A and B are shown apart, each in its own frame.
Chain A
Amino acid sequence: MSRPDAIPASAVRSEANTVKPFNRRHFPLDGWEMTLVVLLVLVLVGFSWAAPGFYDGMPDLLSMAENFLPFGFVALGLSLVIFTGGIDLSVSTTASLTAVVVAQLWHGFGMNIWVAAGIGLLLGALLGAINVLVIIRLKIEPLIATLATSFIYGSIATAVAGNAPPSGFPDAFNALGGGALGILPYQLLLFVPLCLGFWLLVARSAYGRKLVMVGYNREVALYSGIRVERILVVAYVLSGVMAAVAGLVLAAYYSAARPDMGDPLLLATLTMVVLGGVSIFGGEGTMLGVILAVFILGFLRQGMMIAGFSDMVTTMVTGAILITSIAVKNLFNKRGTGLGNQLWALLRRPEATGSEPE
């Protein structure tokens, strides 16, 4: 994660062996992230040119982000879980349940909407904590554990919502979903500092380093005195909280809470995280990549919708991107053993492999 940027001169002039702080990464972005930047530019330029109505000035482009930033919030939290080598399938129903509970607290109990929203965030943390306790204490694979809890959370959401889910929140709350400060949507104003926070957490904090270690090799982390379970608890709880944030933003955006509101979140956010370069096996990846992927996939889906493709088609494309990004990741893995690595090596030095002895 860290890229050393300073080194004492004494180290460089060591007589035993010359140590350079870098041997290859002079540019702050690695290959995968550069590819993502290019993709983002392609998506923006491509749709502006091909889909009339996609680019209609900067304010319009920014407000388009309101349609996909809820995915972004979930993706930030979900990446922590995927960094550990786990997965959280319950993000969508966590978002729905939070939104519905907050709406009922406001509507049914006459609670102040902001107090209710605060309770909603705590609920998200609680749901995340339940996930991780099931995983750690009952020793159930994250995939199965969160699949099961996602059904449970979803059913509770339906029950809490009842026949007529509440709607028509106060305008101040609705502004969270659709309002803007000048040309900057409130959603974006919330998303940017969170991005910064998550990026620093993963790339620069001791927690982030431990998270990556646990993801790469849990045994080594254990033998290094890292409290692996704590790392997991924080990751799943933050994933739950971020899903709750997405639920609140969605509720504000629609000024309504529905128990199936979070359903589209899962596929898209998972795709964003993986497209962002986080390995589903854990360890590898960067937060910056995930943030780039949020905008790529977000604008791509919006662009396709504006160009007249149905929701069905965009979902299909999202699924295809998910498979493609995992496949590419496997073909060019960091250990250099993927098929892609080998083909590349073969192209670069054909004499090294298959040549006949002279």
Chain B
Amino acid sequence: MSFAQWAASPGPGVGGHEGRIYRACNIGKRFGPVTVLRDVDATLRAGRVLTIMGENGAGKSTLFKILAGQLRPTSGHIELDGQELSLGAPSAAHAHGIYLVPQEPMLMPELSVAEMMFVGHMPTSGRFLKRVDWRAIRSRARAVLDALELDIGIDRPAKTLSIAQLQLVECAKALLHECRVILFDEPTSPLTAHEVETLFGIMRRLAGDGYTLSFISHRTEEVMEISDDIVVLRDGRMVGAAERGAFDRASLLSLMVGRELRTVSRRTKSHVTQELALSVKGLTHEPSFRDVDFSLRRGEILGLAGLIGAGRTEIAETIFGLRQVDRGTVKLGNTDITGVPSHDLIRRGVAYVPEDRGRHGAVLPMTITENITSSRMERVRQTAGLMSRGHETEIGAKAVRDFRIRCAGLDQTLLELSGGNQQKVVFAKWISTEPRLVILDEPTRGVDVGAKEEIYELIDRMAASGTAVVVISSESEELVRLCDRVLCIYEGRIVAELAGEEITPQSVTASYVGGSQARDAEFEKAGA
């Protein structure tokens, strides 16, 4: 059965309950002096998907935590089918049939899928020596996964599942525990376009079965695609609530951001020069990628598109000297830099802004200034081996100004900043070294819409000043907005190259999905 047929076919028929209405009434929430939610109303109806939209920090997650029983509201109340609820803990929510699917489900890496689904609710047999009833566990887990037509082996260890699969297993868990209200906490941000389609297919089927669904997102295309009802939050207030038909993408965006925003467009001016900045020949790092060839000129912005795990990050890390080169050469201008370690590359003007802020990008418990200068401490004036604090503060203050980092003081630690501002600090850390070549890995992940546009302008300015830029991104609109050229990577190989007008969201996605289809065709041929 094709995916389209499957998604169109009638639901799994797990249900049988009447639909439920879950309502948040006049919810307010304060954390000490900070008010994060004010008079928010939201109604989740059976058979419909309610989307909570908003920028980072708008209060979406807080509202969800209140609905899922993880937080209590400061004012207002929640009611299920007209009856007021007081939920003190997630377990109380489960008891009422309300289930929250976390964004990155807690992983107990050694457990099997079946075990994960029954953690905390293991059926037992025997009277005195209670034994875990593995037969019941296996058959019930299998039944639910089959009902959702999920092709996930129940004996597979959790650590072998993708985030998308883990989310679906969590979803199956909700059905298993007969929860009729299912909340998805920003499920799509770690997923690829293809995985999002699968998830949406399942959400539609559940809605068709009369389940009550809600999810969080700040991606307008998705929201327009899946929602029946939409609530838009901004700064903790409800700025819009209606059926989907009442909105279009532009109105959603302007509601979220609070000002008119240009829709994502192609960049107007290219800054490509003739001067070669980087050339990569036959670069190979088994098993992540092989025979990668490309070159890049000063002022050019080159995109790397592909699915998560296609090898894009590994290519970047190899160029930046963090991974072993198995074969091939890398040249910066005319100098061979194959296998040169990172500290040396930084001195030669190479910068790599990693994808994961907390793990690779910045030391969160250190201050803004300390993080910014950490990419190249030599640039801080030194006397007798001691760094000049005055000069370091100047560098920090300039970066905070240039990158519009919103903070109370330069000695704030990154723990106290929002995700978008943390990302700006990581950017400032690298861009302030004035690199000739900069590699940006998912530069706007977890960054709100307004900050995104600021980051795009920043990247554009860098290119205009002659920096060669590589952008790794899973958002095709971002690549369209930024790039002169896009390379599509599929399973460690370049499968397509797009330039100028050829770069559209459709062509980018098609090229790497196409890569997978071509491969599937090969397999079929080989099998036949």
Q: Which residues of A contact B (CB under 8 A)?
A: 1-8, 11, 14, 16-17, 19-25, 200, 204-206, 209-210, 212-213, 216-217, 219-227, 283-284, 334-336, 345, 348-349, 351-352, 354-358
A residues in contact with B394, CB < 8 Å: 7-8, 11
The reply to whether B410 and A216 form a contact with Cβ atoms under 8 Å apart is: no
> Nearest B residue to A1 by beta-carbon distance?
B370
A349 (CB) vs chain B CBs: closest residue: B32
B345 at the interface (CB under 8 A from A): yes
| Cross-chain contact of A205 among B76, B359, B385 (Cβ < 8 A) | B385
Within B344-380, the residues touching A (CB, 8 Å) are: 345-346, 352, 354, 359-367, 369-370, 373-378, 380
Bound Cα distance from A6 to B344, whole angstroms:
31
Q: Can you list 24 A-B pairs with a CB-CB distance of less than 8 A?
A: A2-B370, A4-B389, A4-B392, A5-B390, A11-B400, A17-B406, A19-B400, A19-B401, A19-B410, A20-B410, A21-B397, A23-B408, A23-B409, A23-B411, A205-B387, A206-B377, A206-B385, A212-B366, A213-B374, A283-B363, A352-B31, A357-B73, A357-B76, A357-B86
Assess the B369–A4 pair: CB atoms within 8 A. Answer: yes
Question: Given A21-B411, A216-B363, A225-B375, list of 19 further CB < 8 A pairs?
Answer: A2-B387, A4-B396, A5-B393, A11-B394, A11-B397, A20-B408, A20-B410, A21-B397, A23-B412, A24-B411, A200-B386, A205-B385, A213-B363, A213-B374, A223-B342, A223-B360, A225-B345, A336-B415, A358-B76
CA–CA, A227 and B322, complex, Å: 12
B72 at interface by CB-CB < 8 Å? yes
Closest to B409 in A: A23
Interface status of B404 (Cβ within 8 A of chain A)? yes
Q: Known contacts being A356-B72, A357-B76, is A224 close to B374, with CB within 8 Å?
A: yes
Nearest CB of B to A227, in Å: 6
Centre residue among B77, B341, B393, B406 by max chain A CB count within 10 A: B393
Let me know if A4 and B362 touch, CB within 8 A: no
Cβ-closest chain B residue relative to A3: B411
**Nearest CB in chain B to that of A216: its residue:** B363
Q: When the two chains form the complex, which single residue of B74, B345, B375, B408 contacts A351, counting CB atoms closer than 8 Å? A: B74
Whole-angstrom distance from the CB of A33 to the nearest CB of chain B? 16
Q: Which residues of B contact A16 (CB under 8 A)?
A: 401, 404
Contacts of B376 in A (CB 8 A): 225
- Chain A residue numbers with a CB within 8 Å of B400 are 11, 17, 19
Q: How far is the CB of B37 from chain A (nearest CB, A)?
A: 12
Q: How far is the CA of A4 from the CA of B394 in the complex (A)?
A: 9
Instruction: Report if B382 contacts A (CB, 8 A).
Output: yes
Which of chain A's residues has its CB closest to B87's CB?
A: A357
Is there contact, CB below 8 Å, between B397 and A206? no
CA of A2 to CA of B391 in the docked complex: distance in angstroms? 12
Q: Are B343 and A2 in contact (CB under 8 A)?
A: no
Measured between beta carbons, the chain B residues less than 8 angstroms from A209 are 370, 373-374, 377, 387
- The smallest C-beta distance from A334 to any residue of chain B, in angstroms, reads 5
What's the nearest-Cβ distance from chain A to residue B355, in Å? 11
Q: Which residues of A contact B406 (CB under 8 A)?
A: 17
Smallest CB separation, A9 vs chain B (Å)? 10
CB distance from A199 to the nearest CB of B (A): 11
Q: Please measure, in the bound complex, the distance between the C-alpha atom of A345 and the C-alpha atom of B360, giving whole angstroms.
A: 30
CB-nearest residue of chain A relative to B72?
A: A357
The reply to whether B352 and A223 form a contact with Cβ atoms under 8 Å apart is: yes
Complex CA gap A209/B86 in Å reads 49
Which residue in B342, B364, B404, B409 is a CB contact (below 8 Å) of A20?
B409
Which residues does chain A contribute within 8 Å of B77, judged by CB atoms? Answer: 357
User: Count the B residues whose beta carbon is within 8 Å of the partner chain — how many?
Assistant: 62
Q: Does B407 make an interface contact (CB < 8 A)?
A: yes
Task: Verify B389–A6 contact, CB threshold 8 A.
Answer: yes
Query: What 7 A-B pairs are tightest by C-beta distance, nearest first?
Result: A23-B409, A4-B393, A11-B397, A225-B343, A6-B390, A225-B342, A23-B408
- Residues of A within 8 Å of B267, CB to CB, are none
**B365 to A334, Cβ gap below 8 A?**
yes
Q: CA A355 – CA B32 in complex, angstroms?
A: 12
A residues in contact with B76, CB < 8 Å: 357-358
Give every chain A residue within 8 A of B519 (Cβ-Cβ).
none
- For B362, give the chain A residue with the smallest CB separation: A220
Question: Smallest distance from the beta carbon of B315 to chain A beta carbons, Å?
Answer: 15
- Tell yes or no: B156 within 8 A of A by CB: no
Q: Which residues of B contact A224 (CB under 8 A)?
A: 374-375, 429
B34 to chain A, nearest CB (A): 9
Measured in the bound complex, the distance between the Cα atoms of B411 and A220 in whole Å is 19
- With CB as the reference atom, state the residue of chain B lying closest to A20: B409
CA distance A355 to B29 in the complex (A): 11
Residue in A3, A5, A19, A358 whose CB lies within 8 Å of B407: A19
Question: Please, which residues of chain B bring their CB within 8 A of the CB of A23?
Answer: 408-409, 411-412
Q: Are B411 and A205 in contact (CB under 8 A)?
A: no
Whether B398 lies near A11 (C-beta < 8 A) is: yes
- A335–B352 Cα distance when bound, in Å, is 27
A352–B361 alpha-carbon span in the complex (Å): 33
Q: Are A206 and B410 in touch, CB under 8 angstroms?
A: no
Q: How far is the CA of A117 from the CA of B394 in the complex (A)?
A: 45
The verdict on B75 contacting chain A, using a C-beta distance below 8 Å, is yes
CA distance A49 to B86 in the complex (A): 58
Nearest-CB residue, chain A, relative to B433: A225
A228 to chain B, nearest CB (A): 10
Q: Say if the beta carbon of B30 comes within 8 Å of chain A.
A: yes
Known: A209-B370, A209-B374. A219 touches B342 (CB 8 A): no
Complex CA gap A23/B378 in Å reads 27
| B344 → A minimal CB distance (Å) | 8
CB pair A219 B365 closer than 8 Å: no
| Residues of B contacting A335 in the complex (Cβ-Cβ under 8 angstroms) | 365, 415
A227/B343 contact (C-beta < 8 A), A7-B394, A335-B415, A349-B32 known: yes
What distance in Å separates the Cβ of A107 from its nearest Cβ neighbour in chain B? 39
* Chain B residues in 8 Å Cβ range of A223: 322, 342, 352, 354, 360-361
Hey, which chain A residues are within 8 Å of B365, CB to CB? Answer: 216, 283-284, 334-335
Query: What 0/1 readout, one digit per residue, does chain B (400-441) give for beta carbons within 8 Å of chain A?
Result: 110011111111110100000000000001000000000000
Residue on B nearest A227 in the bound complex, by CB: B343
User: When the two chains form their complex, are residues B346 and A355 in contact, meaning their CB atoms are under 8 A apart?
Assistant: no
* CB under 8 Å from chain A, chain B span 451-495: none
Chain A residues with CB below 8 A from B366, complex form: 212-213, 216
- B residues less than 8 Å from A3 (CB atoms): 389, 411
If A20-B408, A223-B352, A352-B31 touch, whether A2 touches B386 (CB-CB below 8 Å) is no
Task: Scan B149-168; emit 1 where CB is below 8 A from any A CB, else 0.
Answer: 00000000000000000000
A204-B374 contact, Cβ under 8 Å, with A11-B398, A220-B362, A223-B322 = no
CB distance from A26 to the nearest CB of B (A): 11
Candidates B401, B411, B429; contact of A14 at CB < 8 Å: B401
Interface centre among A14, A216, A357 (most CB of B within 10 A): A357
